[in-house]
Amino acid sequence: MSSKQDELLQALHDVHGAALTRFVAHMTHDGAFAQDVVQEALLRAWKHPEILAQSDDAARAWLFTVARNLVIDDRRSARYRREVSTDVLPESGSVDETDSALDAWILSDALSALSPQHRSAIVGAYYLGHSISEIARKEGVPEGTIKSRLHYALRALRLSLQERGATQ
């Protein structure tokens, strides 16, 4: 395209662009789509330089006709017919708590199968977040005993969970 045609296209946009955008936005109620249509209409004018050489009124009529046809074509398209526009969002899915409730029940059952000393060591260390020394002080036993209880309690818990089919 020559610089003369560039100037004519720019002038066409400057003179008719705003009115064309308002026209399409009024038809579609979608400002972003209106801008796309105007851009496409101007692109088509650029591909047909003879339009740029016409009188101002003839070029305006051609642009508005092209824009109107682009909107009609879009509204007839399968894409548009399948789209549903709404301000109301669909319900969001709820989280299924069944698995976590079942896991908690199985774990609680497996913990109840442990000896009170083993259960106390696991609950203190893993659920209450107490240190080995805190548990030992509370139980009134040496720290080595708590370490040993935790070791054997975890083994027993693993076996108990395997019996219930929760682990492999």
Domain ranges of the chain: 3-82, 109-163
Stronger pLDDT, 141 or 59, i.e. the higher one = 141
With tokens 């879009």, the residue in question is: 74
Phi, psi at 147, each rounded to 5°: -60, -45
pTM of the model: 0.46
pLDDT for the residue 3? 76
Q: How confident is the model at residue 146 (pLDDT cuts 50, 70, 90)?
A: very high
* pLDDT tens digits for range 74-109: 888 766 666 666 777 777 777 778 888 888 899 899
The 10 Å Cβ neighbour count of residue 11 is 13
CA 58 to each of CA 3, 48, 72, 97: distance values in angstroms, whole numbers, following the listed order? 22, 14, 21, 67
Per-residue pLDDT at 12 exceeds 70? yes
pLDDT for the residue 135? 93
Mean local confidence (pLDDT), 69-75? 88
CA 122 to each of CA 102, 116, 126, 139: distance values in angstroms, whole numbers, following the listed order? 20, 10, 6, 13
User: Does the domain at residues 109-163 carry the CATH identifier 1.10.10.10?
Assistant: yes
pLDDT for the residue 82? 66
Q: What is the CATH number of domain 3-82?
A: 1.10.1740
The 10 Å Cβ neighbour count of residue 24 is 23
Q: Report DSSP letters for 22-72, one per residue.
A: HHHHHHHS-HHHHHHHHHHHHHHHHH-HHHHTS-HHHHHHHHHHHHHHHHH
